[in-house]
Structure 1
Amino acid sequence: MGLRGKPSQRQRRLGAELRRMREDVGLTATKAGAEIGLSAAHLNHIEAGRTSISPEKIRALAAFCGCKQERLIESLITMSQSNGRGWWSEYDRTPHNQAARDLAELESMSVRLRAFQWVNVPGMLQSPEYMQALFKAGHPDMPAEIREQFVAFRLRRQRLLTDAKPPEYHAVIHEAALRMQFVGRDVMRRQVEHLIEMARLPNVRIQVLPFRTDAYPGGFGCSFVCYDAAVPELSTVYVEHPASTPFVTDQANLAQFSEAFTQLSAVALPPLALDARSNIPVRRDSLGLIQHLMYDL
């Protein structure tokens, strides 16, 4: 089997975790490979996500490295056996890049998503009109048919929140994102109404971080999403940054982003809490600010 030219994020992550496993105990690729019947070059290709590894080899490597975390080992085996095919595969021949498809696959594997947004409403909570306006404003020269493909892809991603077994979704949205006018007042009003409707879902929690707040976690001026895996070691953070890889997997950085989200949630207004049949706030919360903002739209 030839080497993969463009490994997916899942394939790269599997390799990175196997490399971390051996490096944590000070093993070289030569020594670890010899123990499980692979050359150092072959193991290096596996660790770079360029080729596959069998479940038996994963178990052998874990045993040699002294890893006894059975849930982690089983999750790595599951990652190795996945063919990566899902609804996102239908977009292989569209303008969407690999990172977009990786994101959709990552979402499907997560048990909880925690999103912080400064400027835009998080993609999973956007209305179709808001998406259209964003793509048109950000890419004015994009042909309409291409823009429709991007909207369709994002709408398909959103179906995750209403699946039979949806993940938990928790968003902290800065007030600035709700005051932006570049999408037009009517579009923004309908988007705000859409947020209220999304908050009715039992697995969705939405908070607003107001301009006036007593504290703010320093050093986190970027938007990000924490994708929490069933096995915490395999969680991932997606950072909206154009100059570097958007996926963060280093354990220390994962902990840093997770703690930042916890702090953001703590200083944000309490979540939108609605009566199931009305727009009446159950208590003073993010809904109050949202309703106040709607008067300006």
Structure 2
Amino acid sequence: MSARKPPTERQRRLGAELRKMREHVGLSLTEAAAIHRTDKTTISNTESGRFGVSADRVRVWAANYSCPEHDYVDALAEMARERRVSTTQWWDEYRDAIVATSLDLAEMEHHATALRGVQITHMPGLLQSEDYTRAVFEQTVPPLTPEGLECRIAFRMRRSEVLDRAESPRCTFLIHEAALRMQFGGAKVVSKQLDHLLEQSERENVTVRVLPFSVGAYPSAGSSMHYACGPVPQLDTVQLDVPTGSTFLHSETHLANYRAMLDRLEQLSLGPERSRDFIREAAQQHGA
């Protein structure tokens, strides 16, 4: 018998939402099992993402929990349906070569209806040129093998293809001036990266806004983050970079705090046109 694959972040999220629904009405695992006519082990494994669940069962459990939010339940049922269909996605090709949290990040971006993010010292991953990406990954500790380096670069380039889809997510990237000044790969690489950034900012679905040094203090200074909007606000996700890969947050408090932070940073940032002028000036300085 083949080993069961560990659940993805999206699968764990579905289970976590079912757990929140149960806890919201104050039911224990034993009480929920009696209502659903199953056993508490099944419920526990489903809530942890270890067991799959059908779309029909999601709807039955939601009804048993008296959940009134139909759009939310429909979105959860669709997540359950996706797992049952279990089609192979492009990131599955990298399952034995890339850390699981990076695969989860690609999956999150694939399903997002909109993406928002703030970067302090690096260009947003989806807007990086290949040479810039190479320069970033060459600083990895411990160093990547030549094969590992090429794999990481290829994976990041594949991630950026989400912007090319017919129904691609609308993206807003807030980039601190520090990221424009960092010399990853040297002035020539950075100059070309900034030209690439300007090209990407012309996409209809991409907005780039700069946070200049003159802004001074701002919320969560020093922290980069990626915010993916789901089909309903309850299914939004925050992704943060950590030394081992990524961590994902989705509690109501986290989502509210990070939405407020992004709203505040957008208010502080330069508008899209002024940001493009600012990036052009930075590119000229690197190329001088």
Structure 1 partner of 2:230? 229
CA distance in 1, matches of 2:256, 2:281: 35
More helix by percentage: 2
Which residue number in structure 2 is paired with residue 47 of structure 1? 47
Say whether 1:254 aligns with 2:255: yes
1:153-210 residue CA offsets vs partner (Å, 9 max, x unmatched): 1111101101111110110000001101132110000000001100110000000100
Unaligned runs of 5+ in 1: 274-284
- 2:26 matched residue in structure 1: 26
Contact residue 222 and residue 241 of structure 1 kept, 8 A: no
- Inter-partner Cα distance in structure 2 for 1:146 and 1:2: 27
* Distance in 2 of aligned mates of 1:268 and 1:222: 16
Q: Aligned-pair distance for 1:244?
A: 9.1
Number of the residue aligned with 2:281 = 292
Say whether 1:190 aligns with 2:160.
no
Q: Which moved more, 1:31-40 or 1:185-194?
A: 31-40
Alignment of 1:23-172 (within 5 A): 23-82=23-82, 83=86, 85-94=88-97, 96-139=98-141, 141-172=143-174
> 1:111/1:268 Cα in 2 relative to 1: closer, same or farther (>3 Å)?
same
Task: Using the TM superposition, give the Cα deviation of residue 58 of structure 1 relative to its aligned residue in structure 2, in angstroms.
Answer: 1.4
> Aligned residue pairs: how many?
283
Greater displacement, 188-197 / 2-11: 2-11
Q: Percent identity?
A: 37
Match of 1:278 in 2: none
Q: Which 4+ runs in 1 deviate beyond 6 A?
A: none
**Matches of 2:127 and 2:11, distance apart in 1:** 28
Deviations 1:120-163 (A, max 9, x none): 00100000000011111224732222211111111111011011
Contact 2:101 2:246 in 1 (8 A): no
Aligned to 2:177: 175
Deviations 1:15-46 (A, max 9, x none): 00000001011111111121112211110111
Query: Residue 103 and residue 57 in structure 1: after superposition, are their counterparts in 2 closer, same or farther (change >3 A)?
Result: same
CA contact (8 A) 2:102 2:246 kept: no
SS in 2 for 1:295: helix
SS at match of 1:226: strand
| Closer/same/farther in 2, CA of residues 224 and 74 from structure 1, 3 Å limit | same
Alpha-carbon RMSD across the aligned residues, in angstroms, is 1.9
Find the aligned partners of 2:157 and 2:51 in 1 and give their Cα distance. Answer: 32
Question: Which stretches in structure 2 are left out of the alignment for 5+ residues?
Answer: none
1:103–1:203 Cα change, 3 Å: same
Inter-CA distance 93–144: structure 2 relative to 1 (3 Å threshold): same
**C-alpha contact 2:19 2:47 (8 A) present in aligned 1:** yes
TM-score normalised according to structure 2 size: 0.93
CA distance in 1, matches of 2:244, 2:201: 33
